[in-house]
Structures are given as structure tokens and as C-alpha cells.
Amino acid sequence: MPASSPDDQNDPPTPPPFPSHRRLLPWCARAGATRLPVWTGPALRDRPVRGVRTRPLGENRAVTQTPAPAVVVRGLHVRFGDVEAVAGVDLTAEAGQATALLGRNGAGKSTTMKVLAGVVPPTAGEVTVAGHDAATDALGVKRSVGYCPDVGGLVPRATPWEHLQLSARLRRMPAWEERGRDLLERFELGDVAHRVVGGFSHGMSRRLSVVLASLHDPAVLLLDEPFDGVDPLGVDATLEVVADARARGACVLLSTHLRDLALEACGEAVVLRGGNRVAAMQAGELTGEAYRALLD
Ligand SMILES: Nc1ncnc2c1ncn2[C@@H]1O[C@H](COP(=O)(O)OP(=O)(O)OP(=O)(O)O)[C@@H](O)[C@H]1O
């Protein structure tokens, strides 16, 4: 049996999964590569390179369109022991729409998001996400959504690349590496792709959580406080992910305290107070004055 096939001689060996661009070029030279492996390299946005993929997120990717409305919530109640966290929320969100969830601390935003993500069951009411009933088909809900929780969700001893690998494996995604690299680059996490996240700053962890939520192009994207502690470049990357999701027909729900960013990201706004929905309107109508009046 020959030591190597003709293909082996022509093809360079497989590169490490996420090499830094500095290590990649010597590797190609050593391997006698006649072609570069697919690699975007850091600072892609600032330094376009010939032959490097610059496809905008979302382009050429198949999307599972769900019939509108993608999210329906009717009379949602969530109780934790004696605490009524959500006390009668109604909400409808269409495919291709982004809706901001606003309200003071303890208003019930995160709890509503958790129900939409299929991680907390509704105590009462009707919740349908991408056609799946949250009370009876939590797994169907989980499969349809990408969820960035307000806190936690990351494994401190794993790296961003390992988080992506795990997420892709759980979702049985056959080809995800290029998408993963694109997202890490856009969120300026490419250089720390192999660093354990236990040492990440709060903003870095937030950015990685948005990356993980959007990796699989979910039909419903749920972002709970994605801007919290995030720098302006991270904010831009998050706005881009939201715009991309809307463009491919996904439904986005985004919880935040930052009214200005909510208006920038979303066309619709829902305001919660004391676990109740107190307003639903076009985001442009939510002036600072109107918002303050709704909070009091
Ligand atoms: N697991 C829990 N056990 C008991 N009470 C809870 C639990 N989760 C939430 N709550 C309570 O439910 C209410 C709503 O909390 P929630 O986190 O949904 O509010 P929020 O609008 O997201 O607030 P914030 O803006 O501060 O994140 C609060 O009174 C909170 O203390």
C-alpha cells in the first residue's frame, strides 16, 4: 500500500482548527501548500484581503422561515413560589421583525425571555414560538431559538472555539466553522478564540453569548441585555447581527434598558411594568418622555 495517495501529495494537511493569522502563513510554507485554507484572519473589517471571504452575514444561507407571527404570547403568567414574575403579558412578533422588551428592573423581561427560550415553563397562558407550544414542546422551542441569556450560559474552563464546537455538535450543524470564524471576527474575539472564557471581561462574555445565540441562524433570536457592558464595536456587531437576522426573515426579541439602542435595533417596542405589558408600539413612537411616563 502506498505511503500516500496522489491527493495526499497535492493537498496540504488539515490546519489547526483556529490558527492565528501569524501562525497560518509559516504553516502553509512548511506544508508546501499550493492553496490557502479558508481563513478570514483578524481585523477583517478593517483590512480586506484579496481572496478572503467578505460575504455579509446571512447571504446565501438557507433560513427556515416560520409562518408569521413567529411568536405569540397570550396571558402569560410565571410564578416562582410566592413571586409573580410575569402577570399577564401579551405579545405578538412577526418574522422579519425586531421587538424591544423594555421596563424597569424586575419588570419581568428576563422571565418572559426564558419562557420564549423554552428554559422556564409558563405557569399559565399560551406561548407559541415558531409554531411550538412552550408548555408542551419545550424541546421544539429550544431547537427554533437562539438565546443569549442575561447572565451565565458560558463554561468558564472552555474557550470560545470550544463553545462553538459544542453548540454546533448539539445542533448537528454539518458545516459551521466558517460561520463561527466570521462571527468571532466580527465581535473581535478571533484573537482570544483559544483562551478560556473564565478570564473574560463582562463585555467579552456578552459578545460571545451573542455569537453563540446567532451561530445557527435561528428562526427566533432572543437577546437578553446584549449591550450590557459592551463597547461601541461590540454594539455595532450586535446591531449587525440583528439586522442580518431580520433580513433573512428571523424574528428578533431584544431586552434592554438602553432606549436609544432599542430604537436603533428594533422597529417595535413592548414595555413591561410589574410583570404586565403596559404598552406596545412602533419603536419610533417611544420618545424619552413617553418611556419615562410608562415606567412611573
Ligand atoms: N428564579 C426566581 N425565583 C424567584 N423570583 C424570581 C426568579 N426569577 C425572577 N424572579 C423575580 O421575578 C421578577 C421579575 O424578574 P426578571 O428577572 O424577569 O425582571 P427583569 O425585567 O428582567 O429585571 P432586570 O431588568 O433587573 O434584569 C423579579 O421580582 C424577580 O425577583
Strands 71-80 and 268-273: unpaired
Which residue has the CA at smallest separation from atom 7 of ligand 1? Answer: 80
Domain annotation for the chain: domains and CATH numbers: 71-295 (3.40.50.300)
pLDDT at 296: 77
pLDDT band at 67 (very low <50, low <70, confident <90, very high): low
Ligand 1 pocket: which of 79, 109, 222 to mutate (most atoms within 8 A of CB): 109
Ligand 1 pocket: which of 105, 116, 120, 224 to mutate (most atoms within 8 A of CB): 105
pLDDT digits (tens, 9 = 90+) for 74-88: 999 999 999 999 999
Residue range 106-124: average pLDDT?
97
Instruction: State whether the beta carbon of 106 lies less than 6 angstroms from ligand 1.
Output: yes
Q: Which residues contact 81 (CB under 8 A, 6 or more apart)?
A: none
HSE toward the beta carbon, residue 69, CA cutoff 13 A: 13
Q: What angle do CA 167, 142, 214 make, to 5 degrees?
A: 50
pLDDT digits (tens, 9 = 90+) for 130-177: 999 999 999 999 999 999 999 989 999 999 999 999 999 999 998 999
Q: What angle do CA 123, 129, 135 make, to 5 degrees?
A: 30
Instruction: State whether the beta carbon of 77 lies less than 6 angstroms from ligand 1.
Output: no
Distance from C-alpha of 148 to C-alpha of 142, rounded to nearest angstrom: 12
